[in-house]
Every structure is written in C-alpha cells, then in structure tokens.
C-alpha cells in the first residue's frame, strides 16, 4: 500500500494500491510547464528562496540559509549555464555547428530520498522542475512533515500570474516501506529517470529494481569526505584561527551524517603541532552560537563516542581533547588512514609530513575534500592529482556541505533532459 501526501493539487493523505492514477495525473499536468517561460520559473523559485526564511515553520530547518541562497535566481542561472552554456536551449533550438539542438524534458523523474539530510529531495526536485519534468518523490517517513512544509511555502510563492502550485502540479510526494518490493518495482517502471540518494544497501536495492530500457539513472550513493591543512596554515595563528572557525560548521552540519561531512583532518607538519590545531578547534566549538545546540543522539552513538574516547586515552601514541559529556570530541594521532566515522561532532585530526601522502588513501568513494591552504600553486597541483584519483569536489573549509554543480562529478540537469536535434536541409538554409 502506498501513501500519497501530495498529488500535485492537494495535501489530503490517501492510500492507493498503485501509482497509475497519480502518474497519469502529473504527466498530464506536466504539459502546463511547457507553457511557462524559464524566466518565470526562475522568478517563482527566487521568491521561494526568500519565503523559506520568513516562514516560522521552515526558517529553522538545518541548512536553510544555504538552501535559500542556493535557490536564488542568480545562482540557478549559473547552474543552468554550467550545465548548458545558456538557458535558451531549454526553450528554443540553439545552433551548434551544423545542427539545431534543444533540451527537452525527460518525462517522469522518480526521486528516492535518503533520510540523513531532509533538504536533499528539494534540491533534486527544483532542478527537475527547472527542466520541466514531472516528479514523484519517495520520501522517508520522518522527513515528510518538513518536506511538505517546504512544498507549501513553494506553492505560495508567486511571480506575476504564476505561482508555485502551477509548478508543483506535476509533483507528488509518496511513502511506502522499503520492504514493499512490489510498490518499489511499479514506481521504478514508471520512471524516465531515477535519482537515487542513499547508502549502499538502499542504492543497490533500487538500482537492481527493474526499469525502462530508456531510463536514466543518477546515483548519489555513499561517500566519504575529509579535510586537509597545509603547513603554512598550521603555523600561521590568524589563518589557523579563521580556518577552524569555518571548519567547525562543516563538522556540525547534520551531525556529520552527510556524505560531505568531514570525518578526518590531515594536518601537514609534526605531530606536536596538532595541539595548536586542536586548541583552535576547541575554541571554535565553544564559540558556536546557541542555535547550533547538539541534537539528541542514540544510546548506540553515545556508546561509540565513549568507546573511541577510551581507546585514545589509553594508547601512548594517541591523544584527545573532549568536551564535558559528548558535545564534541577531537582525536589526535599520526596514523595515515581514513577512520570509520563516529559522527556526532567527532573529528580525527592527524599529522603527516607531506600532504601528498594522502593520494594513497583516495578511492572513487571520496566525495569532498575541504582545504585550508596558504600556497595556491601547491593547492592547484595537489587538487589535480586528487581529482585524477576520483575526488569529486575540493572546496574551502566551511563550504563542504554546500550543494553545488557539478555534484559527485555529475551535471544533474543534463541527465534529466533529452538533447534533441534538428538538421535543416540545404534548400532551407
């Protein structure tokens, strides 16, 4: 049984046996998007970016300030340009060499949303709306209330005679248990594109579900992220203080549940210099505004924190700096390895004589590396080598959890359209 929380028109919760009626409805409504200029779609989303900061029910969602910034018209235009060169191709034929090319909607996009970051589904939904696709989002049960509140805020956003509900008429929010293989398969077979967010088990389960031969898969699976700091920053007190003040926000976002959250910080230099880094990071934790209070954690997480603290307290070649209770934990050593994430504001900081040694740790599973560098040439050189090894993103600390394009090495908008061509015969030229 599938629960529908939004069917493109109303929020009345209903239970259905299959998605046929919903898919037909939103695909029919999708045609309305073809009549709305991209410029108007951008203006409505831009209004949404302002409204979510005004709505008391959305303004305190974790990461909402960045979400607002990301949905601004100026940023979305940059993303469109990154994907296509210009937005004209989304509405009209564009001459490319000897062909006319236009980007047309893929059709129905299915979104399987992970539960670790509530806003993920909104990022992929808005991009799919930008290219005028219809959308069905399978949202985790615990995330549904906030997702619906964001949709209501979007629906009430207006520009001239267009409002958000005009754009959402081809969108539906659903839920069914992950054990419901029948519903999952029926959903999958409806999709012209599947966007899959989640851990390894979820990604494999959905990826192996039958689909149309023509269906495009965009997978944002399990990843690992960490940070690096060069020797020049470590010995520069002001630079180090600024770096740690930014870095702490990467750590606290989603309590390190996100794929982009740093789990380890590699510091170039002697092991003794880790004390400077740890002290500045401790200060940054203590200076966090009250609104960033740590959320409640499970007994299992608390047990993992206690266990790793005990390990580092007892071993001679390791050290730690901790808060009262389990508010934050800084673990120091010099073993060159990617640690199993403890999360919940637990960061491993490690010394290394040469940052280039981290190249030996890189696999395609590495998503984001945050950096604190004083030497630009060195940063560019090591970044090329890291990207060649498979690292998707290299960004300044403080920006690790900012969703941008490309993401995981993919330009999402280009995966949600068909590039169609028209070649004019010689007598028409």
Going along the chain from its start, the domains and CATH numbers come out as 2-221+408-428 (3.40.605.10), 224-396 (3.40.309.10)
pLDDT in tens, 253-264: 889 998 899 999
State the pLDDT confidence band at 429, using cuts at 50, 70 and 90. low
The first and second tokens of residue 316, run together, are: 């001679």
For the chain, give the percent of residues with pLDDT over 90. Answer: 80
Question: For 129, how many CA atoms within 13 A lie in the half-sphere containing its CB?
Answer: 33
pLDDT tens readout for residues 81-95: 999 998 899 999 999
Q: What is the DSSP letter of 404?
A: -
How confident is the prediction for the chain on average, in pLDDT?
93
Say how far apart CA 370 and CA 258 lie, in whole Å: 14
Token reading at 19: 């998605």
Give yes or no for a cis peptide into 406 (omega within 30° of 0). yes
The yes-or-no verdict on residue 423 having pLDDT over 80 is: yes
Would you state the pLDDT for residue 387? Answer: 94
Q: How far apart are the C-alpha atoms of 138 and 360, rounded to whole Å?
A: 38
Cα–Cα distance, 305 to 321 (Å, whole number): 13
Could you give the CA distance from residue 26 to residue 279 in angstroms, rounded to a whole number?
A: 55
Between 97 and 361, residue with greater pLDDT: 361
What is the structure's pLDDT at 66?
Answer: 85
Using CA atoms, how far apart are residues 114 and 405, in angstroms rounded to an integer?
Answer: 19
C-alpha 62/C-alpha 292 separation (Å) is: 9
Three-state DSSP state, 201: helix
Q: pLDDT-based confidence at 320, cuts 50/70/90? A: very high
Contacting residues for 334 by C-beta, under 8 A, at least 6 apart: 271, 317, 350, 351, 352
The whole-angstrom separation of Cα 398 and Cα 249 is 6
Beta strands in 123-192 (DSSP E): 134-138, 158-159, 162-163, 171-175
Task: For 351, list phi and psi in degrees, rounded to 5.
Answer: -90, 145
The closest of 28, 13, 32, 25 to 165, measured between CA atoms, is 32
At 330, give phi and psi (nearest 5°).
-115, 120
Q: Comparing C-alpha atoms, which of 37, 12, 10, 38 is closest to residue 26?
A: 10
CA 348 to chain centre: 23
pTM of the complete model: 0.88
Q: Which helix (H) or strand (E) holds 214?
A: none
- Taking only the tens place, the pLDDT of each residue in 223-249 is 999 999 999 999 999 999 999 999 999
What is the per-residue pLDDT across 103-129, written as a single tens digit (0 to 9) for each?
999 999 999 998 767 777 888 999 999
């Amino acid at each position: 049984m599938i629960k529908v929380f939004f069917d493109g028109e109303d929020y009345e919760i209903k239970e259905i046996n299959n998605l046929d009626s919903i898919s037909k409805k939103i695909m029919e409504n999708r045609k309305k998007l073809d009549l709305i200029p991209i410029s108007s779609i951008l203006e409505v989303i831009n209004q949404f970016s302002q409204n979510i900061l005004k709505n008391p029910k959305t303004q305190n969602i974790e990461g909402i300030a960045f979400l607002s910034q990301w949905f601004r018209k100026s940023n979305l235009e940059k993303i469109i340009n990154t994907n296509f060169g210009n937005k004209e191709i989304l509405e009209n034929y564009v001459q490319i060499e000897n062909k006319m090319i236009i980007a047309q909607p893929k059709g129905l996009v299915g979104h399987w949303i992970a539960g670790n970051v509530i806003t993920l589904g909104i990022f992929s939904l808005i991009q799919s709306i930008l290219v005028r696709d219809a959308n069905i989002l399978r949202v985790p049960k615990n995330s549904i209330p906030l997702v619906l509140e964001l949709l209501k805020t979007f629906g009430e956003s207006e520009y001239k005679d267009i409002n958000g509900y005009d754009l959402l008429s081809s969108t539906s929010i659903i839920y069914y248990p992950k054990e419901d293989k029948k519903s999952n398969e029926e959903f999958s077979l409806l999709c012209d594109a599947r966007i899959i967010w989640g851990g390894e088990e979820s990604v494999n389960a959905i990826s192996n579900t039958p689909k149309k031969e023509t269906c495009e898969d965009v997978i944002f699976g399990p990843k690992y992220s960490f940070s690096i700091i060069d020797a020049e920053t470590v010995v520069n007190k002001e630079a180090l203080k600024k770096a740690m003040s930014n870095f702490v926000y990467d750590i606290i976002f989603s309590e390190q549940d996100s794929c982009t959250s740093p789990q380890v910080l590699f510091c170039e230099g002697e092991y003794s210099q880790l004390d400077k880094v740890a002290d500045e990071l401790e200060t940054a934790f203590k200076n966090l505004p009250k609104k960033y209070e740590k959320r409640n954690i499970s007994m299992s997480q608390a047990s993992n924190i206690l266990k790793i603290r005990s390990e580092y307290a007892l071993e001679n070649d390791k050290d730690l700096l901790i808060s009262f209770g389990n508010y934050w934990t800084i673990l120091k050593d010099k073993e060159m390895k990617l640690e199993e994430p403890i999360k919940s504001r637990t960061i491993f900081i490690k010394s290394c004589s040469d940052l280039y040694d981290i190249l030996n740790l890189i696999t395609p599973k590495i998503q984001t590396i945050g950096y604190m560098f004083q030497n630009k040439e060195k940063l560019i050189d090591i970044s090329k080598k890291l990207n060649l090894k498979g690292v998707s993103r290299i960004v300044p600390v403080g920006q690790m959890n900012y969703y941008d394009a490309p993401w995981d090495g993919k330009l999402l908008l280009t995966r949600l359209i068909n590039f169609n061509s028209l070649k004019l015969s010689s007598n028409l030229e």
